Amino acid sequence: MTGAGLEGDPDVEITGVSAAETARRGDLVFLDGDGKAAPQISAETSALIVNEANIHNVPDGMPRLVSALARHYHGVVSYALFHPRHETWSGETLISPEASVHPTAIVSPGATVGPGASIGEGTVIGSNAVVGPGVQVGRHCRIGSGASLVCALLGDHVRLLAGARIGEPGFGVTAGPSGQEDVPHFGRVILQDRVTIGANSCIDRGMFDDTIIGERTKIDNLCQVAHNVVFGRGVVMAAFGGISGSVRVGDAARIGGRVGIADHVRIGEGVNLAASSGVFRDIEPGETWGGTPAKPLRQWMREVAWLQKHANAKKTT
């Protein structure tokens, strides 16, 4: 399938795919990039697809397939092993006979509930909403009209406003033989108790691990949260914000409108981010930052004041 050369035991059985640091026995992982930083590789990993630059990072004796397009071919193998159920879901009824819907739950006209899905006590599913196969929705939730949920687990008292998109794949792109290719996403979205997601906001599922939104977090309308992001408890995020992949946000952080956070950044507990901030580095707990690139608030305000003073300096004769 990959055209790659095999080095190691050809009889190893592959039963799953994952990221290198979280692999379990039977998993195939990939190593890509320039190979300068030593990656974390689980000792349980059964085999790797690796590019030439990373061969020296492969543990001794671990079977490997060597390819210049390691990430792409890992995706090819992934799709051969697994396929998301919601992509091939079909049926004659709007509510699958294989779904579990509590007698007190309300499924409004036009809403669909897939096989293996579960709707808890007192939950209301709005008109034309989609609850995909295997999705679990807790008790007393409110799912707005036209919202869609796939690859997701929802706790109790969760509110999704109209048009929210939960569990779509993230923006993962890699080079393939014919150009750019989408990479598969096999993780989930977990929305804990009393989370609110605003209208037309998107929470992407994880690539291999999960995207997690902590309890009582409130996300405004028209926000984007990418794959593998983890929000703590009680986070507040105002409209038009964008969170890149694998960001970690601590408990009780407050994110102003139009804030953008670069991938893999760590935001500490109780951090405040001023509106329109562009965050590119980690922020320690309790700090308040603003600006683009974002920096501590006092420093940012001094720089703005200095710029205004010199930009509007009075002419002298």
- Spatial separation of the C-alpha atoms in residues 191 and 193, rounded to whole Å: 7
Region 151-300: CATH code: 2.160.10.10
Domain with CATH 3.40.1390.10 in the chain: 5-82
- Give the residue carrying structure tokens 């055209």: 3
Phi and psi torsions of 73, nearest 5°: -75, -25
pLDDT at 317: 55
Q: From the candidates 56, 140, 227, 310, which is the catalytic residue?
A: 227
| E-state strands within 67-186 | 100-101, 106-107, 112-113, 118-119, 124-125, 130-131, 136-137, 142-143, 148-149, 152-154, 159-160, 165-166, 173-176, 179-182
- HSE-CB at 246 with a 13 A cutoff on CA atoms is 9
pLDDT at 316: 58
Do 283 and 268 form a contact (C-beta atoms < 8 A)?
Answer: yes
Which CATH superfamily includes the segment(s) 5-82? MurE/MurF, N-terminal domain (3.40.1390.10)
Annotated active-site residue 227? The verdict is yes
Domain with CATH 2.160.10.10 in the chain: 151-300
pLDDT at 267: 98
Output the pTM of the full model: 0.92
Question: With a cut of 70, which residues of the chain have pLDDT below it?
Answer: 315-317
Q: Long-range contacts for 80-88 (Cβ within 8 Å, ≥24 apart)?
A: 80/1, 81/14, 81/15, 81/16, 81/17, 82/17, 82/184, 82/186, 84/150, 84/151, 84/186, 85/114, 85/115, 85/116, 85/132, 85/133, 85/134, 86/114, 86/132, 86/133, 86/150, 86/151
pLDDT tens profile 2-12: 888 899 999 99
pLDDT tens profile 227-276: 999 999 999 999 999 999 999 999 999 999 999 999 999 999 999 999 99
pLDDT at 88: 84
pLDDT at 315: 63
Q: In what order do the strands lie in the sheet with 236-237?
A: 106-107, 124-125, 142-143, 159-160, 196-197, 218-219, 236-237, 254-255, 272-273, 288-290, 295-296
- Spatial separation of the C-alpha atoms in residues 217 and 237, rounded to whole Å: 8
